[in-house]
Amino acid sequence: MDAYERRCRLLARAYPLRYRQTRGEELIGTLLDLAKPQQTRPTLRDALDVVRGGIALRLRERPPLPHWALYRLFHKRLPYTYRWWARDDLLGSRYLARQCATWLLATSPLSTV
């Protein structure tokens, strides 16, 4: 893996993990096809397009604030439209840390005052 491909893979992290698992090689392949010989990094325009696309996908799949708050605070089920966001949330690396923090805050002596 050369420097150009490493930078492309770093840019692709703007997309959710499941997207990278299913379409990541296609994205990397397209960026590699766009590269000129001896190019060490994607152009600024290509880099911004990849990051913008990843952020847009994440925001498009995110539930609205009322649904998110009910899900996060009261463990209410999200509408079916947001199932992929919920799946990513449950399988994410910070899920266990959030659950532990919530439990610690709920059982702390300050919460009983």
At 33, which helix (H) or strand (E)?
helix 17-34
Tell me how far apart the alpha carbons of residues 51 and 109 are, in angstroms, rounded to a whole number. 43
- Give me the helix-helix angle, 3-12 and 44-61, nearest 10°: 30
pTM metric for this prediction: 0.74
Does the pLDDT of residue 20 top 90, yes or no? Answer: yes
pLDDT tens digits, 58-80: 999 899 999 988 888 888 999 99
Q: Is the pLDDT of residue 5 over 90?
A: yes
DSSP-H helix ranges across 62-113: 65-74, 83-91, 95-107
Domain-by-domain residue ranges, the chain? 3-61, 65-112
What counts of helices (H) and strands (E) characterise the chain?
6, 0
As a whole number of angstroms, the distance between CA 5 and CA 41 comes to: 8
